[in-house]
Structure 1
Amino acid sequence: MALLETDDKQDPGLSMPSEKESAAIPERPRSRPGVVAAAVYEHGQRTHDIEIQEAHKWRGREKAVVWIGLHEPDEALLREVQAEFGLPELAIEDANHAHQRPKLEIYGDSIFVVARTAHMGGGEIVFGETHLFVGRGYVVSVRHGPSTSYNLVRQRCEASPAALAHGENYILYSILDFIVDNYMPVVEGIHAEVEELEERVLRDRLDKKDIERLYFLRRSLLRLRNAVVPLVDVCRRHEHLDLPGMDATLHALFRDVTDHVRRVQEDIDTLREVLAFTFEASLMIGQSEQTEISRKLASWAAILAVPTAIAGIYGMNFEDMPELKFKYGYFVILGFIIMVCSMLYRMFRRAKWL
């Protein structure tokens, strides 16, 4: 089974900087509860940290982008953001209630993207949700649940001003790419556990705990697939459609994200097939063992039936029975029992029942 691979064939001018480069940029503290970061970027450079109510002052400036990151905001904060950027009512309702299916919706000159995040925690997949509002001159990200912070994405973008100068859609690409990259360790972690179960089913019979874990992994992969598959269409639409504010040079980057998502989907489907095969193999091995035991029991029952039947007949205490008065009758009957039982034993051994 092939492990996930990474595709580094991107435009070098738009690629993300390394973690070593991004680590040099300090993380800035949040300005208020629910707000992770709010800043203005001009020509790819971070120029101002702002409050939400100041965002409208920077909209419309050439090469200026307002990037606001929110984490589980209350409705009042969302309404404040809506008033600043004129965000659509339906999208605000979705962002407030969460638990949405991954999707992309276009509202005039802005778009609304929903994506599901995933990471491993405590031996299981932990899911979160991200809502992205993208329009001319602004990006608003809203995280729900235990998803990974996007501070690292912000730091990487800030470390590459030339790429960040492409504006809001490059920020959108960076966040989607980060989400998809975080799927890969999840799939690889499950891949290692599935391989271990697959080897064990061929060595030893799986116990009840292993069967429960196998079922749990298959169910978790199904939930992960439901989060990943709709994202393929979201990325594909960015790759092919002329969305508001989309720079044609970014199509290759979104194509790369689409390839990564499809690769994750293929690996999930492969793992689910392997888990199904492992479960079926475990059942077949169990049935084979039960059949073998049944054959052995049936063989020994047939062999023991001979002396049992003869001893039962001669134990009925009738006076007129053959061989009762014969001097060597006991030895003849005993020899007959041994001969018949030996014949049956050889016959069952030849049939591989014993």
Structure 2
Amino acid sequence: MNEGLARVNCSVYRQGVKRGEITIDEIGTALEQQDTFVWLGLVEPDNELMERVQEEFDLHELAVEDAQKAHQRPKIEEYGETLFVVLHTVTLAGQTIHFGETHVFVGRRFVITVRHGKSNGYGSVREKTENTPARLATGPGYVLYSIVDFIVDHYQPCMDTLQYRFRQVEKDLFLPNPPAGNLEEFYNLKNELLSLQAAAGPLTDVCTQLLRFHGDIIPKENRIYYRDILDHVARVTESADRVREMIDAAMQVALAQVTIRQNEVVKRLAGWGAILAVPTMVFSWYGMNFDVMPELTWRWSYPCVMLGIVLVSVFLHRRLKRVGWL
């Protein structure tokens, strides 16, 4: 992969101010200066590029191996003086939610983001942090906060979209003839909701570990921002729990309605079966091969039999219809 295609941006910052963009080969020289850190952004880099990045920043091979692969669970791991953080991202396209990943390496002098799948770029995050030089001067810990905050801010709109889609399907649930795809839509909603919970839930542990054990990277003045993220994550997970319970209840109702409709069909079939049983029984009676059946020679036997069948069938039809079986 061409470096220009995989590298989003590589900038050097000194005392909270951006000093310019550099190439990967210039990173070592830039880090020789005091009060300087580098922010490198990558999108699905190939092995060759990741090996170069590994050499420049002295990254652990296990962390680099994880960063090259998507489908990692959200987590935080420590490799010497470097933190490796895996975050799941969400992107809205209309009412469809797309999931991606961002892997972040954080050291005292650098931040590296590696994006996989569909995710929003971090250009707006760079602009926001560069407009607050006093906070940016605290180092890579503030950049990590800005990235996590940006990702978490996209969770709530997705949660609101799932709630809206649920309400749209729920209102059709008690129609006389609800749409056939209701149950499938509930199932799809639950899958997306579980994926969103899987993205947001582990961030509580990630932020807690950052606050408790990594004061060298997360200075005291930045900890209040991570507590704000914890509040946002808590709201999302609580909303997700409520919606999941509502979806579970709606799925139970939808399944019960399917059973009720099936029972109605069975009742109607049973009702018509009862009506048809009368002529079937009479015809089978007179189909027996007896030599002596006196009523066969009676002049009015046929009209009486047919009239009896009609009367009994009409009576059964009216009776069954009255009790709701037809």
TM-score over 0.5 for the pair: yes
* Cα distance between partner residues in 2 of 1:305 and 1:213: 42
Counterpart in the other structure of 1:247: 219
Counterpart in the other structure of 2:85: 113
Counterpart in the other structure of 2:48: 76
- The secondary structure found in structure 2 opposite 1:244 is coil
Instruction: Indicate yes or no: 2:100 matched with 1:128.
Output: yes
Residue 344 of structure 1: CA displacement? 4.0
Instruction: Indicate yes or no: 2:20 matched with 1:43.
Output: no
* Cα distance between partner residues in 1 of 2:292 and 2:170: 67
Aligned residues: CA RMSD: 3.2
Residues 133 and 318 of structure 1, relative CA distance in 2, 3 Å threshold: same
Aligned equivalent of 2:124, options 152, 159, 162? 152
- The secondary structure found in structure 1 opposite 2:174 is helix
Residues 324 and 174 of structure 1, relative CA distance in 2, 3 Å threshold: same
Residue 311 of structure 1: CA displacement? 5.5
Q: Deviations over 1:235-264 (max 9, x none)?
A: 221233344322122222112212222332
Residue 277 of structure 1: CA displacement? 3.2
What letter matches 1:287 in structure 2?
A: T
What letter matches 2:12 in structure 1?
A: V
| Contact 2:182–2:254 (8 Å) recurs in 1 | no
* Cα distance between partner residues in 2 of 1:137 and 1:315: 100
Aligned equivalent of 1:280, options 234, 238, 252? 252
* Cα distance between partner residues in 2 of 1:78 and 1:325: 103
Residues 295 and 76 of structure 1, relative CA distance in 2, 3 Å threshold: closer
Aligned equivalent of 1:295, options 267, 271, 274? 267
Listed as ranges, the gaps of 5+ residues in structure 1 are 1-30
Instruction: Indicate yes or no: 2:191 matched with 1:219.
Output: yes
Aligned equivalent of 2:178, options 193, 202, 205? 205
Instruction: Indicate yes or no: 2:203 matched with 1:231.
Output: yes
Counterpart in the other structure of 1:321: 294
Counterpart in the other structure of 1:15: none
What letter matches 2:203 in structure 1?
A: L
* Cα distance between partner residues in 2 of 1:121 and 1:251: 33
Count of residues in Structure 1 that have an aligned counterpart in Structure 2: 323
Residue 113 of structure 1: CA displacement? 0.8
Aligned equivalent of 2:24, options 35, 49, 52? 52
Residue 179 of structure 1: CA displacement? 1.1
Counterpart in the other structure of 1:6: none
**TM-score, normalised via structure 1 length:** 0.77
Aligned equivalent of 2:166, options 160, 171, 194? 194
Residue 153 of structure 1: CA displacement? 0.4
| Contact 1:60–1:137 (8 Å) recurs in 2 | no
* Cα distance between partner residues in 1 of 2:257 and 2:154: 37
Could you say which structure has the greater relative contact order, defined with CA pairs below 8 angstroms and 6 or more residues apart? 1
Residues 60 and 136 of structure 1, relative CA distance in 2, 3 Å threshold: farther
* Cα distance between partner residues in 2 of 1:343 and 1:94: 76
* Cα distance between partner residues in 2 of 1:295 and 1:71: 61
* Cα distance between partner residues in 1 of 2:245 and 2:145: 31
Residues 134 and 347 of structure 1, relative CA distance in 2, 3 Å threshold: same
| Contact 1:37–1:70 (8 Å) recurs in 2 | yes
Residue 347 of structure 1: CA displacement? 4.7
What are the equivalent positions in structure 2 for 1:7-46 lying under 5 Å apart? 32-46=4-18
What letter matches 2:178 in structure 1?
A: R
Residue 168 of structure 1: CA displacement? 1.0
Residue 177 of structure 1: CA displacement? 0.8
* Cα distance between partner residues in 2 of 1:92 and 1:242: 21
Residue 60 of structure 1: CA displacement? 6.7
Residues 333 and 96 of structure 1, relative CA distance in 2, 3 Å threshold: closer
| Contact 2:173–2:182 (8 Å) recurs in 1 | no
- The secondary structure found in structure 2 opposite 1:245 is coil
* Cα distance between partner residues in 2 of 1:160 and 1:133: 22
Q: Deviations over 1:174-211 (max 9, x none)?
A: 0011111122333322322222222223223332x554
Listed as ranges, the gaps of 5+ residues in structure 2 are none
Q: Deviations over 1:88-117 (max 9, x none)?
A: 222122222343222111223321111121
What letter matches 2:77 in structure 1?
A: E
Residues 275 and 320 of structure 1, relative CA distance in 2, 3 Å threshold: same
* Cα distance between partner residues in 2 of 1:343 and 1:302: 11
